[in-house]
Structure 1
Amino acid sequence: MHAWPASEVPALPGKGRDLRIHDTATGGRVTLAPGPVARIYVCGITPYDATHIGHAATYNAFDLVQRVWLDTKRQVHYVQNVTDVDDPLLERAERDGQDWADLAERETALFREDMTALRMLPPRHYIGAVEAIPGIVPLVERLRDTGAAYELDGDVYFSVDSDPHFGGVSHYGTEVMRTLSAERGGDPDRPGKKNPLDPMLWMAARDGEPSWDGGSLGRGRPGWHIECVAIALEHLGMGFDVQGGGSDLAFPHHEMGASHAQALTGEHPFARSYVHAGMVALHGEKMSKSKGNLVFVSALRRDGVDPAAIRLALLAHHYRADWEWTGDVLDEALDRLGRWRAAVSRPDGPPADALVEEIRGALADDLDAPAALAAVDRWAETQRTEGGTDEGAPGLVSRAVDALLGVAL
């Protein structure tokens, strides 16, 4: 599966700072100091409705992580998956009378278009669950053969008790985990499981549903968590720098994925840090496909909204915050974009070297994009009211905003 084209990232004078970011697993900030190549895995979409503002906010957060790393003169090895076969996708296809594969392909293509328009840097590896199945099957067989997994009526489940570090990502209690498991694709009440929290690794073929050759597992399809584990282990290996996604993925997805990988390899941790973005609401409720309260990036683009304004609307909120999308949010972003473009369109302006360092410092401090925006606002206001004589300043500001914030002026 191919990703989307990369926008050019302008080079800036000097060098960026190492990123301090909130790690869910430790509950505090950690300094990310990767080697020459920083490794990040961000969980992708299930393509039955793409791309709403909640998706865009999550991918914007991890795009900032990449930009901070690139500014430190590192390379970035970014991997993202597409869950192109799963129950929600199959249910939507059946509801709408569509072929599930056609639905997945169409929505994935739309996602690519949205990411391109928003200037999100693409992953080096963009892998669908279906194409990952040949690598998933041997992992499930290994877990089963070592006693970390078991069969139940033809399905294969992972035993969470096989990983002594289980619970170390989310730190939720058992009852909270059980509740969230039921809400987020698990089946804690299924009779015969060794532990109600045990997640499915391989689902035996069901009538009327797609299935693939699973070798000794029989025909079927993979569970959700093992998909990401197989892709991450193949392309990044254990101990990569950041596992990212929305806050609703901390449990069960990232918790279970970590345990799968740790049971497979005997190593810990799966990822050095777990970074989670907040949720976006509409009309007082979390924006979600199940509720249908979605604002789509593609719809905004069709209405003529500049993608740079959409991105500024996302950047106006701290990545870990839960916030609500409103018309005012977009209006404020459009106004800011206009002010910034007017400021950099002049032939000279106030010196901007300090501004670049202020943006760098804000982003290095747990991706504080609102503080970075406020710094550019101050420069633009000085430009408007006082002007300046530095001929290189407007161009430097334009390049810095592009390189570090992903906004083209």
Structure 2
Amino acid sequence: MLQVFNTLTRTKETFKPITPGEVKMYVCGPTVYNYIHIGNARSAIAFDTIRRYFEYRGFKVDYVSNFTDVDDKMIKRAKEDQTTVPAIADRFIKAFMADTEAVNIEPATAHPRASENIPEIIDFINVLIEKGYAYESAGDVYYRTRKFKNYGQLSDQRIDDLEVGASQHTADEETDRKEDPVDFALWKAAKPDEISWPSPWGAGRPGWHIECSVMSTKYLGDSFDIHGGGQDLEFPHHENEIAQSEAKTGQKFANYWLHNGFVTVGDDNEKMSKSLGNFVTVHDIIKQIDPQILRFFMATTQYRRPIQYSQKNLDEAANNLSKLQNAYRNLAYRLKDADAGEDADVQTQLATLTAHFVAAMDDDFNAQNGIAAVYELAKLANVYAGQARVQKATIQALQTTLVTLASVFGVKLDAATPELADADIQTLIDEREAARQNKDFAKADQIRDELKAQGIVLEDTPQGVRFRKD
């Protein structure tokens, strides 16, 4: 029985979708004014892994993730680069898609952009005004936060405590336009030379929070199953989304709220963020390491836990990934001499390990325990592949299961099979074998070194010599 930790109730709950067999899921996407850093990628990878597990369990997943393509950061970047906000958005959306593809994140069912939903945003705000939940002030439109009785439930905060923080962090001129310091902007009046759209309240642009309420309900309906994002979005972003959406529709906005942990850096485990300047972009890191290593590193930690980014932890992930890749290669190598039939005992062990994987991932997507079952499967595969005689059906079952379970974490083990050696490499392998038989070990070692220089690593096994490409 699949259980998820619901931030709204702060308890684990049995997952019951609105429509049996289907999952409707919205995950807040990036503000596209720069390349995404690894902290941003953590959320994208975590929820892609969750999506993949739902699909593994047989659900049809409708997955929506937005692009914030107009806000203060976008406007600032456009001015710095002496270009337009849409040009900045196009540039970094393209980069986002390339970087996420590199770490094997499946494209969302829909990737809506705020700028493409301005009419829907205006209509949404109009309904809130008509219901008395919003008001216009000097071209801005604000939400009456105190009018929503459950405000603060998601982030477990009292509105009176929020008032103090709001008065400290809001500019005086904006406070003067508000009825209450805790009210938040739904629409912002345009400043000179800023990107804007016409509206009933004058030229302006949407506030940050309103866009996700509009796009999630537009694509998934007034109520949907899962809303996800980073822990830093619980307040105010997700809190405000609930207030806006439920005030408009009168229905529960999302049934389950899932929030991923931060990526931390340094000895003091400081949160990685652009504002602190301690970030590493995915765009840069995948030029230095195999993107699969980064994916594996992030996907194999339970999504709610923090991840410490360090070279030591990356190296450990690379080593563990290599073990899975080698297990796959061992199975692929033994297919060529496998006997017909299957090994019932190994098949039973395989079924047990698969059940352990499902039990772990059913427990709020516990990736550490899930990947532990995959490691045990790799050990089973290696032991079986090392036997003198193996059964083809069992080799194939081990191989298929290993690939399938690894794919839940976004890892492509079936891409790990080495290409066939060309004639020159095979000749060198044959010459080395002849040298070894003639006890000319110096020549055999020389050939091994030559092959290694070409990126070919030889492995001497009881079944003969095989190779892989590093």
State the TM-score, normalizing by the size of structure 2.
Answer: 0.78
**1:82 aligned to which of 67, 70, 80:** 67
Provide the C-alpha distance between the structure 1 equivalents of 2:171 and 2:55, rounded to a whole number of angstroms: 41
Provide the C-alpha distance between the structure 1 equivalents of 2:202 and 2:154, rounded to a whole number of angstroms: 32
Q: CA deviation at 1:315?
A: 2.3
Match of 2:466 in 1: none
Provide the C-alpha distance between the structure 2 equivalents of 1:182 and 1:307, rounded to a whole number of angstroms: 44
Deviates more, 1:19-28 or 1:144-153: 144-153
Root-mean-square deviation (CA, aligned residues, Å) is 2.2
Give the SS at the match of 1:295.
coil
Provide the C-alpha distance between the structure 1 equivalents of 2:369 and 2:73, rounded to a whole number of angstroms: 38
**Alignment-mate amino acid for residue 344 of structure 1:** Y
Match of 2:436 in 1: none
Give the SS at the match of 2:122.
helix
Q: CA deviation at 1:288?
A: 1.0
Give the SS at the match of 2:286.
helix
Q: CA deviation at 1:98?
A: 3.9
Provide the C-alpha distance between the structure 1 equivalents of 2:98 and 2:48, rounded to a whole number of angstroms: 16
Q: CA deviation at 1:263?
A: 0.8
Match of 1:251 in 2: 235
**2:146 aligned to which of 151, 154, 161:** 161
Q: CA deviation at 1:54?
A: 1.1
Is residue 177–residue 252 contact of structure 1 (8 Å, CA) maintained in 2? no
Match of 1:14 in 2: none
Between 1 and 2, higher relative CO (CA 8 Å, sep ≥ 6) is seen in 1
Match of 1:70 in 2: 55
Is residue 242–residue 253 contact of structure 2 (8 Å, CA) maintained in 1? yes
**2:320 aligned to which of 325, 329, 336:** 336
State the TM-score, normalizing by the size of structure 1.
Answer: 0.89
Provide the C-alpha distance between the structure 1 equivalents of 2:162 and 2:354, rounded to a whole number of angstroms: 43
**1:196 aligned to which of 168, 181, 204:** 181
Match of 1:128 in 2: 113
Is residue 345–residue 394 contact of structure 1 (8 Å, CA) maintained in 2? no
Provide the C-alpha distance between the structure 2 equivalents of 1:265 and 1:68, rounded to a whole number of angstroms: 31
**2:270 aligned to which of 279, 285, 293:** 285
**1:381 aligned to which of 379, 382, 385:** 379
**1:118 aligned to which of 93, 99, 103:** 103
Q: Deviations over 1:268-315 (max 9, x none)?
A: x21001110011122332111112211111212222x22211111102
**2:205 aligned to which of 204, 214, 221:** 221
> Which structure: larger Rg?
2
Deviates more, 1:63-72 or 1:217-226: 63-72
Provide the C-alpha distance between the structure 2 equivalents of 1:186 and 1:327, rounded to a whole number of angstroms: 40
Is residue 299–residue 410 contact of structure 2 (8 Å, CA) maintained in 1? no
Give the SS at the match of 2:35.
coil
- Which has the larger helix fraction? 2
Give the SS at the match of 2:224.
coil
Alignment CA distance shift 1:179-1:396 (3 Å): farther
Provide the C-alpha distance between the structure 2 equivalents of 1:61 and 1:230, rounded to a whole number of angstroms: 24
**2:248 aligned to which of 251, 259, 264:** 264
Give the SS at the match of 1:191.
helix
Provide the C-alpha distance between the structure 2 equivalents of 1:104 and 1:293, rounded to a whole number of angstroms: 23
Alignment CA distance shift 1:403-1:176 (3 Å): farther
Alignment CA distance shift 1:191-1:99 (3 Å): same
Match of 1:233 in 2: 217
**2:353 aligned to which of 352, 355, 365:** 355
Structure 1 unaligned blocks of 5 or more? 1-17
Q: CA deviation at 1:55?
A: 1.5
Give the SS at the match of 1:241.
strand
Match of 1:368 in 2: 366
Q: CA deviation at 1:178?
A: 4.9
Is residue 330–residue 382 contact of structure 2 (8 Å, CA) maintained in 1? no
Q: Deviations over 1:343-385 (max 9, x none)?
A: 1112359543322222222111111111112222223234445
Match of 2:301 in 1: 317
Match of 2:401 in 1: 397
Provide the C-alpha distance between the structure 2 equivalents of 1:336 and 1:403, rounded to a whole number of angstroms: 15
Give the SS at the match of 1:208.
coil
Identity of aligned residues (%): 34
Alignment CA distance shift 1:279-1:182 (3 Å): farther
Match of 1:26 in 2: 9
Q: Deviations over 1:150-194 (max 9, x none)?
A: 1222200011122222222111133664577689x9669712422
Give the SS at the match of 2:254.
coil
Is residue 296–residue 410 contact of structure 2 (8 Å, CA) maintained in 1? no
Match of 1:10 in 2: none
Provide the C-alpha distance between the structure 1 equivalents of 2:59 and 2:378, rounded to a whole number of angstroms: 30
**Alignment-mate amino acid for residue 261 of structure 2:** G
